[in-house]
Homo-oligomer: A and B are copies of this chain.
Amino acid sequence: MITDTTVFGIIGLGVLGGSYAKALSAKHYKVLAVDINTSALQEAEKNGWITEGSMDPSLLSACDIVVSCLYPHTFINWIKEHQDVLKSGCLLSDVTGVKREVMQAVNQQLRKDVEYIACHPMAGRESRGLAYADEKRFHGANFIIVPGENNTAAAIATAHQLAEILGFSRIAELSPEEHDRMIGFLSQLTHVIAVSLMNVADNTHLAAYTGDSFRDLTRIANINEELWPELFVLNKDNLSREIDAFVAEMKSFEKLIQDEDYDRMKQKLMLATKRRKAFNKDQEKGEEKK
């Protein structure tokens, strides 16, 4: 349960950690932060986004809720090396974009007097660093809580409360398996597609002819090359299955073009159009009704 006197700790003041800090401090919570980058700590403190910052993890011993905003392997290593600083009974959360392996690794080694509740705020962006922290990106975004076998109802409820305080619009609970399968399709497959479309050949000479569709399709090819390989490997069973299925679908459509099979192409295009409507946002629906 989060109360007015709850003290938050943020590990890693990057774009997400910084956004958490800004959102929480704007609501007058005490926010402590640790990072290996002193200038980020100074910047955040100067702007009032954190109450206090330090390179020394022991600062977090005062915190009731600690959120790791580190990349997956860095998070797991941090637990190994620094979990002794955490207050007994504190709640640990995170922001990592894949869950099964991370949850298993963290839960295997975490002290029994600290509970870990896995969360995935789906408000990432490719720009890195505190300078891009912007808690307004949480508005309209999804916050996924991923309870594990050992989680208490109290911890899950606190995660819901945290998401509301941060300003997320939709809060959902998924199992680790459901989460990683969903991310494999919606997020990881689409990033591999955008990256492959850029890498298949140097087509930058075509930029002058490019319309909004191509730009929309490849915007996410602007990608964090440090983070995403970790995320891909940690979910490679799901992602590989999605790539295989997608490639098979592309090849079967190619066959229809080769065969000049207008009827089946037409059916495929109608099915795609119909399914895509389910993903429309209100704004797009309005446009189509016009």
- A interface, CB within 8 angstroms of B: 122-123, 126-127, 131-132, 141-142, 144, 170, 172, 182, 185-187, 189-204, 206-211, 213-226, 228-230, 232-233, 236, 239-240, 242-251, 253-254, 257-258, 260, 262, 265-273, 275-281, 284, 288, 290
Instruction: Tell me, in angstroms, the Cα distance from A269 to B279 when the chains sit together.
Output: 27
Instruction: Tell me, in angstroms, the Cα distance from A122 to B245 when the chains sit together.
Output: 32
Q: Give chain B nearest CB distance to A127 CB in angstroms.
A: 7
Specify the main secondary structure of chain A where it touches its partner. helix
Find the B residue at minimum CB distance from A240.
Answer: B254
When distances are taken between beta carbons in the complex, the residues of chain B under 8 Å from A249 are 196, 199-200
When distances are taken between beta carbons in the complex, the residues of chain B under 8 Å from A215 are 279-281, 284
Contact A206 B186 (CB under 8 A): yes
Instruction: Tell me, in angstroms, the Cα distance from A290 to B196 when the chains sit together.
Output: 27
20 A-B residue pairs with Cβ-Cβ distance under 8 Å, sorted by A, are: A170-B208, A182-B209, A186-B210, A187-B213, A190-B197, A196-B253, A199-B268, A200-B245, A200-B249, A203-B275, A210-B279, A215-B279, A215-B284, A216-B220, A221-B273, A221-B276, A236-B257, A239-B257, A243-B253, A247-B250
Q: Give chain B nearest CB distance to A73 CB in angstroms.
A: 10
